[in-house]
Chains A and B, each alone.
Chain A
Amino acid sequence: MKLLILALKNLTRNRLRSLLTILGVAAGMFLYSSVQTMQHSLTIATEGNAVDTTLIVYRENRFCPMTSRLPEHYMPTIKRIEGVREVIPIQIAVNNCGASLDVITFRGVPPERLRKYNPNIKVIEGSYEQFVKQTDAALVGQHFAERRGLSAGSKFEAVGVNVTVAGIISSDSPQDENVAYVHLPFLQQASKLGLGIVTQFNVKVESADLLDSIASKIDETFKSDQQPTNTRPEKAFFADTAKQMIELIGFTRWLGLGAVFAVLGLVANAVLLIVRGRVKETAILQTLGFSRLAIGLMVVFEGILLGLVGGLIGVIGAMAFFHYKSFTLGNEGLTLALAPSTSVTLTGLGVAVALGLLASLYPAWKATSRPLVQSLSS
């Protein structure tokens, strides 16, 4: 305990050096946490889980919502396939088809079907009835609303579409949080595609093990049609369609790794300097009877403190950054909200502490391995 206090006091000795080290660690951990936030958000979006029972029917060989065009009348045919619980046609309009940090996505759906298709949607402000009643109404995802500062009753325009917010929704599906649901016919007209054309169908099946068989059945049905389809589970669809984005985020992993090594080197260097400057003092403490373990622990404490304080600043900084900026990465009409998470934050702190520990092991050993007489006479 007293050793910890001594370690803490020791760090205030060379304030500038400690401060610079902490800032460096904070910067590195900020980068690391940011990368982890992206990776984590992506994992949530792409990793299949057991309860996932959604299929996406898309135009074969198309990857952008602007080019995927399917006739709306496929719906009853799909609905009749055994094992299909619910189908909803969706027209998607986005402001930017490529990778972008601020995508706006409209999903045109038959208003009365939305709730039936997805009972998990909760209207937290405004009302669903209002949405059904008013042709230019929109139900806006919570995240989307926050980003644009929208509330029930406000009007907004994007991609040449003017809508009035009828309600704000929350849902357990991350995609719902980032879109504006509007009436299908309204969007079809507004985007000049014309009635009867949709981008995709979302299909809910009875159980997850039916996903593959139903997907092939759907594609089989429309194979010789003018508009053949390609049907995949939602997460696979995400993985295929948002390839650019996924590759980009995958690449950032290396940045995270680089940040980790930078922090490691920085702390190791700082602690080594500390130890070098205190050879004599360490020897005095040993002369007084402090064990090598105690001295080593004190050095390690200092490393951990540097890691922890820097880590706290960096990791919490990253959390606040992603919280207030609410970035939404978009690609091909799919959105990926880069949301901070407690698990990423805690892991970040853990990594910072571990790096502090790891970085100070060698200096700690160095500080205690020299023969005492030699250190005393240096």
Chain B
Amino acid sequence: MSQNLISIKSVTKSFTKGKTTITPLENLSLEVPRTEFLSLMGPSGSGKTTLLNLIAGIDSPTSGQIIIDGTDISTLSRAQLTKWRASHVGYIFQLYHLVPILSAYENVELPLLLGNFSKSERKKKILAALDLVGLSDRADHRPSELSGGQEQRVAIARAIVHDPELLVADEPTGDLDRESADSILNLLNTLAKEHGKTIVMVTHDPKASAAAHRALQLEKGQFSSEGNLLNTH
């Protein structure tokens, strides 16, 4: 087993709309070791979300390789990618994106419906995930009955319930107050340290970035600085 969970090799991504071509990522390489909590920062439009989507298998690169846990996902078709995502990635969005008509429990259940789990197995996993994010007592609540911080916790439970190795988060604290943001960051840290998750997080918030093991600065499709941060653990 390779030591790096993510291995990105000279990836270029461009979007073509009509006659104009935008290349937010050009010849980019990156290695992310297992259980690392990595933060990506950079100005708006620098290609952070684009990179994250490539890592999460939501989009495919124009050229280059993206090898995750030994699989080159840049060669997979759209349908294959969908299947791959179902078992390998948990995605955490800035705006949580829970399904409003489903309870917290049912939202967390969604990824499990794609696997072969019995009802009781699902229940066990869901309760464990909700417990981990500290929301065991809110299982029956609808998203509208939860605070933003709580919604994000449910979203994190949804992202980890099927036990993927990789978690990606696009500005997970961008819409939260300081206190909620800090507790989400603590949670992500715990997931990396104690549960062996590899986490890639995009953020604009230096404090959020400081919570990660390593922070990368993306500018115009290139990493401009790298550091094994100010990190105190």
A contact set with B: CB distance below 8 Å: 2, 6, 9-10, 12-13, 280-281, 284-292, 371-373, 376-377
**B59-85: contact bitstring with A at CB < 8 Å (1 yes, 0 no)?**
100000000000000000011001101
A285 and B58 contact, Cβ closer than 8 Å, known pairs A10-B101, A291-B82, A291-B83: no
- B114 near A290: Cβ-Cβ < 8 Å: yes
B229 CB, nearest partner CB in chain A, Å: 29
B156 to chain A, nearest CB (A): 13
Scoring A10, A281, A284, A290 by chain B CB atoms within 10 A of each residue's CB, the highest score goes to A284
Given A281-B99, A286-B82, answer yes or no on A373-B114 (Cβ-Cβ < 8 Å): no
* Distance (whole angstroms) from the CB of B2 to the closest CB of chain A: 24
Stretch of B86-94, B144-152, B190-198 lying at the A interface: B86-94
**Known contacts A372-B58, A373-B59, A376-B58: A288-B101 contact under CB 8 Å:** no
Docked-complex contact A289 and B101, CB < 8 angstroms: no
6 cross-chain CB contacts under 8 A: A284-B97, A288-B91, A289-B82, A291-B79, A372-B58, A372-B78
Range of interface residues on chain B? Answer: 20 to 34
Q: Which residue of A lies closest to B170 (CB)?
A: A376
Q: What does the 1/0 interface line of B90-118 toward A look like (CB < 8 Å)?
A: 01010001011110000000110110000
B85 in contact with A287 (CB, 8 Å): yes
In the complex, whether B158 has a CB less than 8 A from a CB of chain A is: yes
Q: Which residues of B contact A (CB under 8 A)?
A: 49, 53, 56, 58-59, 78-79, 82-83, 85-87, 91, 93, 97, 99-102, 110-111, 113-114, 158
A208 to chain B, nearest CB (A): 61
Cα(A376)–Cα(B59), bound, Å: 11
Whether B53 lies near A373 (C-beta < 8 A) is yes
- Contact among B49, B59, B102, B111 for A288, CB-based, below 8 A: B111
Rounded to whole angstroms, the CA-CA distance of A18 and B49 in the bound complex is 36
| Bound CA span A12–B142, Å | 15
Please determine whether A285 and B110 come into contact, CB atoms closer than 8 angstroms. yes
Which chain A residues border B49 with CB–CB below 8 Å? 377
Instruction: Write out the residue numbers on chain A whose beta carbons fall within 8 Å of the beta carbon of B111.
Output: 288-289
Q: CA–CA, A372 to B57, complex, Å? A: 10
Contact partner, B97, options A12, A280, A289, A377, Cβ 8 Å? A280
CB closest residue in chain A, given B158: A288
Give the distance in Å from the alpha carbon of A199 to the alpha carbon of B53 in the complex.
87
Bound together, the chains give a CA A19 to CA B85 distance in angstroms of 37
Docked-complex contact A288 and B86, CB < 8 angstroms: yes
